[in-house]
Amino acid sequence: MDSNGVEIRQATVTDLNAIVPLFDAYRRFYRQLSEPERVRQFLFDRFANNQSIVLLALVDGRAIGFTQLYPSFSSTALGRILILNDLFVDPEARCKGVGRALLRAAAEYGRNAGAVRLVLSTEVSNTTAQAVYEKAGWKRDTAFCTYQLTL
């Protein structure tokens, strides 16, 4: 537990009821439809297949935020990397250090797992999140462009 009373712990499948509303709100932030049952199935599948790590932020036992990490590898660094794919804090809990606590916990998890780095991306317009990341020591990539192909 940190000085703000925030507990960060690794979530398990038994935490689905706490995570689903947060994850659904996260998706709505990115202009997706509210689909709690699909969210539940998606998260259940990640847990059941050991495909991601979810770190859950709690205050007084109430879930107020999460981050989800996906394992990957770097061919150039010849090591494991973790993709910090999702990070969300309940709007009522923002500006209280919860996002920073989740970022610290993700970095600690990565170090303990032997990862060589964590990577993330966010919308160009999400300047609030960018400020949190940069204040936490994350550096904006200026060497590589990111592309995607919708399938």
Q: What is the mean pLDDT of each run of 10 residues along the chain (151 residues)?
A: 82 97 96 97 97 96 96 95 95 91 96 95 88 89 85 93
Domains observed in the chain: 7-135 (3.40.630.30)
| Whether the Cβ atoms of residue 54 and residue 67 lie closer than 8 Å to each other | yes
Nearest-angstrom CA–CA distance, 44 and 39: 8
- pLDDT at residue 17, as a whole number: 97
Nearest-angstrom CA–CA distance, 136 and 65: 17
Nearest-angstrom CA–CA distance, 105 and 137: 14
- pLDDT at residue 145, as a whole number: 84
Tokens at 125, concatenated: 């317009």
pTM score, two decimals? 0.91
- pLDDT at residue 34, as a whole number: 97
- pLDDT at residue 128, as a whole number: 87
